[in-house]
């Protein structure tokens, strides 16, 4: 077959697999984009994957679906071979990979990198030192893992940020001259395996790139173009999940590497305690630094909380520089981009010097995939595979919830509890609507109407009501009108005909406007932020 025929067959396979029962189409779109058909004949096809991780995951979870689709299309059984193409791995902007598993298979094993960062003793850099000579790498085999080490502790996605202690402004920042006798860092490898892994992270258009970069860092930590890796997005979108997934993947597959995960509030606590104990215990400050500087991979969550904490930022900057200059990996997360964090420009520049990727609020398809994932998780944990939740209820939860995944999960949990322990195994959509009436912070609302949305949009974009429902077609007015129609559809689930009447338009104009905004949202980050802000204004009003 020529290349055009092979591509056509693969496109048909992808389309057919998305129609199979139990398959979430958005997950196939995201996942199969990492596979590339190379050769095919009757009864045989060879595909290449971007990484070993992708190859293993496909073979464990989707290979039978691919074979089934090929046999249905061509009428003969197929042998499917998947190889890894290393030239594809090098692309930093590759789309994401594995989707949510349909079962709970053992995690795939990826090859460990060929070398680990050196453990040479060096004087700590000053905050202004942006680079240092990189020591020669040593074999990973020379680093022996702790005999008692097991993968890391769970970090619930909904964990709250502990209260931050105040920094003491007159603390002396003594720099130890050498670290030869520093105590070994406290290892995160001594606690149970976390449930936050790449395997159970649901991917979609909103988080695909961040997910892809996180898996790339986990498979080969320390590569310059992704060091540091900075992931940002609003609360509840999966940043902590990705950081913990990196930690768990490395602990599982490269146990000789030291991984340290810290929430920024924990980092602040550690520094405050070390500084306070400095007068009575001279080694406290040195041990604090060693616990971070000895890491091969340092993961710091919610760095925006370090705003205004100058001393902690200074010491983190020193640790950051030392690790990255020695080729050791740093991963940071925040609820906003580095440029929007209120810190000195030098910190913003360094935080932004590697790979910076955002996670956007999930689209309906991704939220529906998350609902299905939570239900599977419950079935597996409780050994109750016969439990089911009607499709219309799953869709209602996905459409009604806000972008916060924690809110989505709690809604699913509430319905499951009512069905299993509340004597309502046959709940209807009407029952669920009543149960969750006051649960969601966004989504449909009985109190909200089209006039409320029009008023909010008019104020936000500085247009009058006469203009937004009138015949003028200037760009600014048309944009405001289309956004208002889109929000009526999203927040009120109004029929297109009803939306059109509210704006003195017909059904087709309302449909066109909503479709136009949905298309723009996929590419226009500023528009996404504006609509998020508008939704917040509408909810608060």
Please give the full DSSP string across 290-316, using - where no structure is assigned.
Answer: HHHHT-SEEEEE-GGGGTT-HHHHHHH
Cβ proximity of 232 and 333 under 8 Å: yes
CA–CA distance, 13 with 7 (Å, rounded to integer): 10
Tokens read off for 435:
């149960």
Q: Which residues pair with 229 in a beta bridge?
A: 331, 355
Q: Confirm whether residue 239 is marked as ligand binding.
A: yes
CA dihedral in degrees (371, 377, 383, 387; nearest 10)? 0
Q: Confirm whether residue 240 is marked as ligand binding.
A: yes
DSSP letter, residue 220: S
Please give the full DSSP string across 241-287, using - where no structure is assigned.
Answer: HHHHHHHHHHHHH-TTS-EEEEEHHHHHHHHHHHHHTTTT-TTHHHH
Q: Confirm whether residue 422 is marked as ligand binding.
A: no
What does DSSP say about strands 259-263 and 297-301: parallel, antiparallel, or unpaired? parallel
CA–CA distance, 401 with 442 (Å, rounded to integer): 6
The packing angle between helices 264-276 and 310-325, to 10°, is 110
Tokens read off for 342:
């209120």
CA–CA distance, 105 with 82 (Å, rounded to integer): 19
Rounded to 5 degrees, what angle do the CA atoms 4, 10, 16 make?
140
**What residues have CB less than 8 Å from 329, skipping those under 6 apart?**
217, 221, 222, 227, 228, 229, 296, 297, 298, 323
Query: Which has the closest alpha carbon to 476: 463, 490, 487, 488?
Result: 463
Tokens read off for 71:
């046999």
Q: Confirm whether residue 312 is marked as ligand binding.
A: no
Query: Which has the closest alpha carbon to 418: 410, 430, 409, 427?
Result: 427
CA–CA distance, 405 with 411 (Å, rounded to integer): 10
CA–CA distance, 146 with 109 (Å, rounded to integer): 20
The packing angle between helices 3-17 and 25-32, to 10°, is 150
CA–CA distance, 360 with 235 (Å, rounded to integer): 10
**What residues have CB less than 8 Å from 196, skipping those under 6 apart?**
154, 155, 157, 240, 241, 244, 245, 248
Strand blocks (E) in 78-218: 79-84
Which residues contribute to the annotated binding site? Answer: 236, 238-240
Which residues contribute to the annotated binding site for ATP? Answer: 236, 238-240
């Amino acid at each position: 077959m020529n290349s055009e025929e092979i591509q056509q067959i693969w496109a048909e396979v992808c389309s057919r697999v998305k129609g199979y029962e139990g398959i979430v189409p958005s997950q196939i779109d995201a996942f199969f984009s990492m596979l590339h058909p190379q050769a095919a004949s009757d009864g045989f096809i060879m595909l290449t994957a971007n990484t070993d991780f992708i190859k293993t995951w496909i073979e464990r979870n989707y290979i039978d679906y691919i074979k089934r689709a090929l046999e249905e299309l061509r009428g003969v059984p197929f042998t499917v071979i998947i190889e890894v193409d290393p030239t594809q791995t090098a692309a930093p902007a590759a789309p994401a990979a594995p989707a949510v598993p349909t079962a709970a298979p053992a995690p795939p094993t990826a090859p460990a990198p060929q070398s680990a960062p050196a453990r040479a003793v060096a004087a700590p850099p000053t905050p202004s030192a942006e680079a240092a000579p990189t020591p020669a790498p040593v074999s990973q085999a020379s680093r022996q893992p702790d005999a008692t080490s097991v993968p890391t502790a769970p970090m619930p996605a909904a964990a709250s940020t502990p209260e931050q202690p105040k920094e003491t402004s007159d603390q002396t920042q003594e720099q130890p001259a050498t670290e030869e006798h520093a105590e070994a860092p406290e290892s995160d490898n001594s606690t149970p395996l976390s449930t936050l892994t790449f395997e159970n992270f649901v991917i979609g258009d909103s988080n695909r790139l961040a997910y892809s970069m996180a898996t790339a860092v986990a498979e080969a930590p320390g590569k310059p173009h992704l060091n540091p890796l900075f992931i940002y997005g609003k609360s509840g979108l999966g940043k902590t999940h990705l950081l913990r997934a990196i930690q768990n993947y490395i602990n599982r597959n490269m146990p000789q590497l030291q991984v340290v995960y810290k929430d920024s509030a924990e980092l602040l606590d550690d520094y405050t305690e070390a500084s306070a104990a400095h007068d009575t215990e001279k080694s406290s400050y040195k041990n604090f630094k060693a616990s971070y500087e000895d890491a091969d991979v340092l993961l710091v969550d919610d760095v925006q909380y370090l705003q205004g904490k100058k001393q902690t930022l200074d010491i983190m900057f020193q640790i950051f520089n030392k690790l990255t200059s020695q080729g050791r990996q740093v991963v940071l997360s925040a609820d906003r981009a580095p440029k929007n964090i209120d810190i000195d420009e030098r910190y913003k520049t360094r935080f932004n010097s590697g790979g910076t990727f955002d996670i956007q609020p999930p689209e309906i398809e991704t939220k529906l995939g998350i609902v299905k994932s939570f239900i599977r998780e419950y079935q597996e944990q409780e050994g109750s595979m016969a439990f089911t939740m009607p499709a219309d209820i799953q869709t209602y939860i996905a459409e009604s919830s806000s972008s916060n995944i924690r809110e989505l999960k709690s809604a699913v949990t509430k319905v499951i509890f009512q069905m299993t322990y509340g004597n309502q195994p046959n709940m209807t959509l009407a029952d669920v609507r009543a149960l969750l009436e006051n649960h969601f912070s966004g989504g449909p609302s009985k109190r909200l109407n089209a006039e409320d949305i029009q008023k909010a949009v008019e104020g936000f974009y500085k247009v009058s009501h006469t203009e937004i429902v009138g015949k003028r077609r200037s760009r600014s007015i048309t944009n405001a009108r289309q956004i208002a129609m889109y929000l009526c559809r999203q927040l009120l689930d109004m029929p297109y005909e009803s939306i059109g009447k509210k704006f003195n338009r017909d059904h087709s104009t309302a449909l066109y406007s909503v479709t136009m905004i949905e298309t723009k949202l996929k590419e226009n980050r500023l528009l996404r932020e504006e609509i998020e802000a508008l939704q917040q204004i509408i909810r608060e009003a």
